[in-house]
Amino acid sequence: MPYFPFAGRQVFYEDHGQGSPLLLLNGVFMSTTSWEPFVPVFSRQNRLLLLDFLDQGKSDKMEYQYSQEIQVDVAVALLDYLGLEAAHVVGISYGGQIALRMALSKVGRVTKLVLANTTARVDSWLSDVGGGWAQALDTGSATSFFRTAMPRIYSRHFYNEKLAWLRQREQGFARSFSPSVAGAFSRLLSSAENVDLIPRLQEVGIATLLISAQHDEVTPYQMQLEMLSHLPRALHLVIPDCGHASMYEKPREFALAVLGFIDNSLEVNIG
């Protein structure tokens, strides 16, 4: 399996296809395997790169608390390891915050930016949601955590309709759950506290697509509107009848939005 070294640790990645590099960045509770259904379509015209952040998936776990900047450095280290100057970067939720930080602090390394179900600031409500998830992790019960977090992540309609699928995922999660996994999730959640990138959004000079979901409770539509008002070269798309996990609830719409933006060479004058 492919790994690359970072600060004495091993980071897992996947490399698929050829063409313009396209880097997908995970949400907190995701891993490279979360993108498996998207690999064929996303690698058809692009060199698709998947990455497990530190404390995620098959990458090494940490022993101390860190800030999101370390995950930015991990993503850039992957590009360096592969000899790539830049890539289109797509981030969902937590991964969107890392993608946004990349665009701000690693100028020239991101060509186009997609921020799906992402917020540029963590308000008190979202901080308490994350705190509730962390407390559920502390119980040591996979079921308690799953049933605390998942109803927020999926729309009510999807949750009720796909309950059997969700119960299967819950059972799989329980089999892999451990104190180490709980600690890793808690550190990831903590690294996203006190985020406020709103004052810097005007510095993002590259073409950006914001993807919102109509029923997203975690990063509500109104928070993307706030970002849109500050980003100088942003387009905005709303996926209807969908919750926070837009890639799972509406995979076709999600893929069409991402690839329609990434692979379109036409320059759009915004503003």
- Reported CATH class of domain 3-122+196-262: alpha beta
Q: Where are the domains of the chain?
A: 3-122+196-262
State residue 92 phi and psi, 5-degree precision. Answer: -115, 130
pLDDT of residue 264: 80
Q: pLDDT of 229-252, one tens digit each?
A: 999 999 999 999 999 999 999 999
The residues with which 209 forms a beta bridge, in sequence order, are: 114, 235
Which of 23, 22, 1, 18 has the alpha carbon at shortest distance from 10? Answer: 1
Residue 242, helix vs strand vs coil: coil
* Sheet of 110-116, strand order: 3-6, 9-16, 46-51, 20-25, 87-92, 110-116, 208-213, 234-239
Residue from 62, 42, 71, 52 nearest 3 by CA = 52
Q: What is the pTM of this model?
A: 0.95
Residue pair 70/54 in contact (Cβ under 8 Å)? The answer is: yes
pLDDT tens for 173-182 read: 999 999 999 9
Phi, psi of 34 (to 5 degrees): -65, -25
At position 226, the amino acid (one-letter code) is E
Q: Which two tokens stand for residue 160?
A: 């009720």
Q: How many CA atoms lie within 13 A of 133 on its CB side?
A: 26
As a whole number of angstroms, the distance between CA 244 and CA 151 comes to 10
pLDDT tens digit sequence for 192-234: 998 999 999 999 999 999 999 999 999 999 999 999 999 999 9
